[in-house]
Structure 1
Amino acid sequence: TLQIWNKGYDLIELFDFAVKMYNSIYIFIIILSCFVLVNTLIMIINERTREIGMMSALGLKSREILYLFTMEGAIIGILGSALGTVLGGILTRVFSVVGIDYSAAFEGIESTDFLMSPIYYTVFSLENLVFCFVLGVVITTIACVIPARKAAKLEPTEALRQI
């Protein structure tokens, strides 16, 4: 009988499932970080309500306030992404040379029964680092638009009354 090479093998299906799970976790972490960022910027805006009201009363337009807070978020994104990219790159490079030892997880299993090494070596890639940096900056900047719009919509008189 003719059989498709990637169907019917439990190990291949297990790896496909693992990839889907890792992607789901990755997307969840991105969404969670967006919520944390939006919450942080909303808190910053709430703390700076009088300052925003003063800027608005002095003639700053809503779109300029929107731009100001979006740029503040973009700067946070650039700094955070740069730090994360550098630290992630260093860790990835170290583990690409040293490896991560999973031999404790394989205790009781004969080495001939398994076709993989108990030491996992990461793959260091400049393309991945650039992608992570750009993704971090773009997502952070997009997530900052929500609180920036909130700041831009504040009425100067109401903002100046708040403590």
Structure 2
Amino acid sequence: MGMPRKLKDLMLFNSGGPYIGQVASFTLPKLTRKLDDWRGGGMDGTVKVDLGSEAMEAEWTLGGPMRDVLSQYGVTRVDGIGLRFACAYQQDDNGAVDSVEVMIRGRHEEIDMGEQKLGEGGEFKVKTAVAYYKLDWNGVTVIEADVLAGILIVDGVDRRAELRAAIGLY
């Protein structure tokens, strides 16, 4: 028997501060490669050439406006804001719990305070452009992408090490 992991709890930390009871949802960055069609002489068809990672972004929703997020608006550094999304997935067939954490650094691209209506709960939505991404599963780093440093590590393999070495970077 087998059952899928289901999200049972989550927490968002913004610059180290926890949003206990305030975070409603978090949309993790999509991991997307930029692939370009190539067909050269003698080839019978087209292949996709990998040109690196596409831009990443995260979206998250809080139950109401947050002053600390508003104070981060217009941060000038591309990696000026640190977010950590921690979640617990559990399998109902055996009770096993997996800890998944995603750490990102970036800056807010959009802050949407939404409609403010008397007597109703509001939503406070934020879109964050990502310059650094790290996913840990039960304490083991599965993916680390540092765009500014040209680093992409997947399951312990530095996929860009030879490219960096070829241009004289570490």
What range describes the TM-score normalised by the shorter chain of this pair? under 0.3
Q: Which has the larger radius of gyration?
A: 1
- Which structure shows the bigger proportion of residues in helix conformation? 1
TM-score (norm 2): 0.23
- Which structure shows the bigger proportion of residues in strand conformation? 2
Between the two structures, name the one with larger relative contact order (CA 8 Å, sep ≥ 6).
Answer: 1
TM-score (norm 1): 0.24
